[in-house]
Structure 1
């Protein structure tokens, strides 16, 4: 199963040509339940955890605590190796899917915001976690995050 890109992300990629640049200083939110049909759809649930740089406070439009990708190699873009991507869970629940938002943190239904969605599981998903159980007050860390781009 492939990542689901929003219309806004596709349009911005056409103008910038850079996935890394378009999503610089972004944030990941982990949600319970079923992933929306498209990344243009509203979330439909309150997020369980927000993943930022070192569990820092994220403010939309500000670079502080935003996530960065490293240099792409061989069609693979990975999280910046020097960064700790983590967040303290606000609510307990079972992680079902995630949404990576660009720095503007455009939530709700939109065809203008740059973001993408993926599934979460313990294996075989776009984001594999050691456990999908999220506990309020506990820190969730993403140790590895890679996006593989097709050759054509």
Structure 2
């Protein structure tokens, strides 16, 4: 599995702060189609769902503790969203709270494929239906060994 990480997130992690801080109050957006060539590129496809804490629209945060290079959502938090459209999920982006989805080399983003297995984000089904609640029971980000 290989995440695509934006230039803005890499730069922040190298100089000014943590991945957790960069994505504070962020959201996960799930789209149709193939993922863009880089996380700096503009969003493509149809936005199927926006996931955050309790589906309330206020974003979510990652835990304050990482274990073995992995940081996960806060265990007590329930991540979910209501599907905005019907379609087949192809990729997702975890974005910061102010991300507009436009091309950017400064926005913090993590991007990956969506599938039922073997992808950066695995869902029970990639067939999302408008108006149905979409839970995300588990979510974590790992940083590889350098």
> How many residue pairs are counted as aligned between the two chains?
145
Displacement of 1:17: 3.8
1:37 to 2:37 alignment: yes
Asked whether the 8 Å contact 1:94–1:132 carries over to 2, the reply is: yes
Query: What is the aligned partner in structure 1 of residue 92 from structure 2?
Result: 98
Correspondence list, 1:121-132, <5 A: 121-132=115-126
CA RMSD of aligned residues (A): 1.1
Correspondence list, 1:61-140, <5 A: 65-70=58-63, 71-140=65-134
Distance 1:84 1:20 in 2: 18
* Range 2-11 or range 102-111, more displaced: 102-111
Q: TM-score by structure 2 length?
A: 0.94
Distance 1:13 1:148 in 2: 14
Q: Which runs of 5+ in 2 are unaligned?
A: none
Distance 1:25 1:105 in 2: 11
Distance 1:46 1:133 in 2: 13
- Runs of 4+ more than 3 Å apart: none
Q: Which runs of 5+ in 1 are unaligned?
A: 58-64
Distance 1:149 1:112 in 2: 20
Asked whether the 8 Å contact 1:35–1:118 carries over to 2, the reply is: yes
Displacement of 1:15: 2.2
